[in-house]
């Protein structure tokens, strides 16, 4: 039950950003959360993986912060408008639930 934090951008990961929509391949999310892509799709449909997307302003204009929650994990991607993933981080509390403060935007 150790907390784990990684902070490196996955190689060749891209995201499609369109008018009011962001599409992220289930492989990218699965790699971050330690799940098979098929599991990601099913868990999202079932509401077991949830997410939030925030658009950068000011110094962060042109970037997006996309955060996924699954059990005791929070996966966060920082993405450029071009779709290139600049950074990703994972906080993993194992069997313990994530603290409420980690479920807020910017937290």
Gap between the Cα atoms of 84 and 1, Å rounded: 32
The position carrying tokens 């950003």 is 17
Mean pLDDT of the chain: 82
Tokens of 27: 């492989």
Higher pLDDT, 45 or 100: 45
Residue range 8-24, pLDDT digits in tens: 444 455 688 877 788 89
Residue range 59-87, pLDDT digits in tens: 999 999 999 999 999 999 999 988 888 99
What is the reported pLDDT for 7? 42
**pLDDT > 70 in the chain, percent:** 78
Gap between the Cα atoms of 40 and 33, Å rounded: 9
Higher pLDDT, 1 or 49: 49
pTM listed for this prediction? 0.79
């Amino acid at each position: 039950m150790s907390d784990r934090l990684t902070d490196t951008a996955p190689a060749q990961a891209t995201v499609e950003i369109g008018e009011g929509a962001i599409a992220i391949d289930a492989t990218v999310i699965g790699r971050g959360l330690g799940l098979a892509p098929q599991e990601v799709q099913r868990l999202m449909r079932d509401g077991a993986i949830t997410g939030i997307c925030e658009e950068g302003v000011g110094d962060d204009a042109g970037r997006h912060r996309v955060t996924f929650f699954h059990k005791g994990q929070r996966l966060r991607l920082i993405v450029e408008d071009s779709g290139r993933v600049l950074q990703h981080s994972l906080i993993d509390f194992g069997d313990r639930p994530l603290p409420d403060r980690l479920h807020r935007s910017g937290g």
